[in-house]
Structure 1
Amino acid sequence: MAPPIVRGTAAWKYFGDFRDALLAEQVLVLQVAHPVVAAGVLEHSDYTADPWTRLMRTVASLSIYVYGGPAGARVEAERLRALHRSFTGVADGRRYSALDPAAYAWVHATLVKAPVDVQRFFGRPLSTSELAEYYAQMCDVGRMLGVRERDLPPDWAAFERYYDSMVAGFTGTPAIEQLFETIRTARKPVPFLPDSWRQGQLFLIRATLPPEFRERIGLQWTAEDQRRFERFARLVRLVTTPIPAGLRTGPMRWLGKLNVWFRAHPRAYRLLVRGNGPGATPSL
């Protein structure tokens, strides 16, 4: 049984680290590499029209699972599953559902893996004991979301084997190409960002994807690219690692508590945010 997610525990320290944003697009690429997820995105998501609002609502939903308390997490999990029940269709002659157990588990797996990779790239890698605690806590989150027990590997080593085997079976999908095109062409989330911001996002995707998968989908990576990324990672590590975990996770924790409050005051949410609730749209 995992310890509850409270101040100082592994999931509390790492899941909401603001550096996790550096891998946001990488996570989306890996999610839509799954053929069922890709089919659902292409048929049911309009994220290309306003990707940043969609992304923020997804972040709001995620914040509830870890920082919104057990009751808030249960309510959000029920809402999310109800939302995805309607995402069904036919792709390549086969029916699919957004709640396909294997695809549903894979989306959860990408969200479990990313904070660990962020610490490996840009912070201090988790210790063996931290990994064990973090993974056990995120398995509890997966159970709340409805991931089947059989789709939750028993420990971190088994999880890594599962994750690597999944990635090894993926190739390019039209949804990946659509995602890249959206990053290249969608309006910037804030107007003052330089145009080079788009190239920076694409560079981080190439830098942090599993190398074999990166090559398989035709993304170029050179020795000079690797040196550039290592310089960037060192700078991020130097500037951010001394910041206490409570400050690094502050925005996500605040967002989780705020969204629990919005759940209890839906009229306030509709008035202030003009939506149907935190995380009201799918992740893409």
Structure 2
Amino acid sequence: MRSHLNADGTPVPASAPLGPDSLTWKYFGDWRGMLQGVWAGSMQNMHPGLGAGVEEHSRFFDERWERLYRSLYPIGGVVFDGDRAQQTAEQVRGYHDNIKGIDKYGRRYHALDPDTFYWAHATFFMGTILTGDNFMGGLTEDQKRRLFTEHIQWYRLYGMSMRPVPETWEAFCEYWDHMCRNVLEDNKATRDVLDLSGLGAPPFLSWLPGPVWAILRIPVARGFVWLTVGMYDPPVRNLLGYRWTTRDERLHILVGRAVNAAFRLVPWRYRYHPRARAGWDRETGRAPTHAPLVHTPRRNLPPIDRRDDPQHYSPKV
């Protein structure tokens, strides 16, 4: 197994959870990360193996908001659960055990194929970079290098092969460019993520009458897709047939700055997702060290007939 190093040259400890001194804790659990949610979903699904798994095994689009919101808990837990983070990581890995098959081109796929599983993690890492760069005031090159080192430490918790993981930030940038130019595909699973025409109202707007949301959905859907296109690497943008102008780029920067300015008015704790906030609360003494982990509320659970399916996170709440 290759030895990955911290920025100071010391070895990254095997299976050591990240803590509040990490940059990942600062950036990953922030609600602003939701603004790259469509980007993350589409980038993941463009991977041939991952896209095939979604097309043939997932019913994500039947309960789009619920699936998104409940997924934040275990995925966030791998970062914020402290000495319980590895157990959370193993649970997340276990949800993928039976996602396998042969795609429509005759290619075998398995969600636990090392290259496929790492690609999903790479999008979480790059999503953190994009959130920091676009909506949290920007990141320096040194901060990106530090986040890269931390993403390796985070990934080790899954117990997966480290073979696909680049050894350096520079090697990761080459890996990412290769994936965007030569591996990712325009497929149905990706187009389904980008199709927001049937998107239901988010939970915090569930009180809106249906006809009102049907009108509001039009600019919301277009806005989210536009925001997503602005975060794509140019090869991905070209692959999907999107056009991006200098005017778009300037407006995208202004929107990002406005989001960052607005979040300065939000109390610090409430900028974080509940699982992340609970991690901070344990570390700052606001909650007991071994307080029960925070789980998704009942409203986000899978449909009743799928709650015992081992590929779903479905806590007893």
Do they fold alike, i.e. is TM over 0.5?
yes
**Aligned residue-pair number:** 274
* Correspondences of 1:24-43 after superposition (within 5 Å): 24-43=37-56
Q: Name the counterpart of 1:177.
A: 191
The residue number in structure 1 matching 2:243 is 220
Larger CA deviation: 160-169 vs 33-42: 160-169
Instruction: Give the 3-state SS of the residue equivalent to 1:120 in structure 2.
Output: helix
Within a 5 Å distance, the mapping from 1:18-97 to structure 2 comes to 18-71=31-84, 73-91=85-103, 92-97=105-110
Indicate the structure whose relative CO is greater, using CA pairs within 8 Å and at least 6 residues apart: 1
Check 1:205–1:127 CA distance in 2 against 1; reply closer, same or farther (3 A cut).
Answer: closer
Residue pair 2:36, 2:228 contacting (<8 A) in 1 also = yes
Contact 2:70 2:301 in 1 (8 A): no
Cα root mean square deviation, aligned: 3.0
CA distance in 2, matches of 1:105, 1:143: 11
Letter in 1 for 2:94: A
Q: 1:85 to 1:158 in 2, by over 3 A?
A: same
What are the ranges of 5 or more consecutive residues in structure 1 without an aligned counterpart?
none
- Radius of gyration: which is bigger? 2
TM-score by length of 2: 0.76
> Residue 11 in 1 paired to residue 24 in 2?
yes
- Give the Cα–Cα distance (whole angstroms) in 1 for the partners of residues 231 and 172 of structure 2: 19
Structure 1 residues 270 and 200: alpha-carbon distance in aligned structure 2, compared to 1, 3 A threshold = closer
CA 1:38 to 1:109, structure 2 compared with 1: closer, same or farther past 3 Å?
same
Q: Cα deviations across residues 156-197 of structure 1 (Å, max 9, x unaligned)?
A: 22212111111112231111112222x221312233463222
Which secondary structure state, in structure 2, belongs to the residue aligned with residue 151 of structure 1?
coil
Query: 1:201: Cα distance to partner?
Result: 1.3
Q: TM-score, normalised by structure 1?
A: 0.84
> Does 81-90 or 240-249 show the bigger shift?
240-249
Contact conserved, 2:17 with 2:154, CA < 8 A, in 1?
no
Report if aligned partners of 1:57, 1:280 keep a CA contact under 8 Å in 2: no
Identity of aligned residues (%): 26
What is the rounded CA distance, in whole Å, between the counterparts of 2:173 and 2:232 in structure 1?
15
Structure 1 equivalent of residue 3 of structure 2 = none
The match for 1:235 is 258
Query: Following superposition, which runs of at least 4 residues in structure 1 exceed 6 angstroms of deviation?
Result: 242-245, 269-273
Q: SS in structure 1 opposite 2:163?
A: helix
Once residues 138 and 229 of structure 2 are traced to their aligned partners in structure 1, the CA distance between those partners, rounded to angstroms, is 21
Partners of 2:49 and 2:109 within 8 A in 1: yes
Match of 1:104 among 89, 110, 117: 117
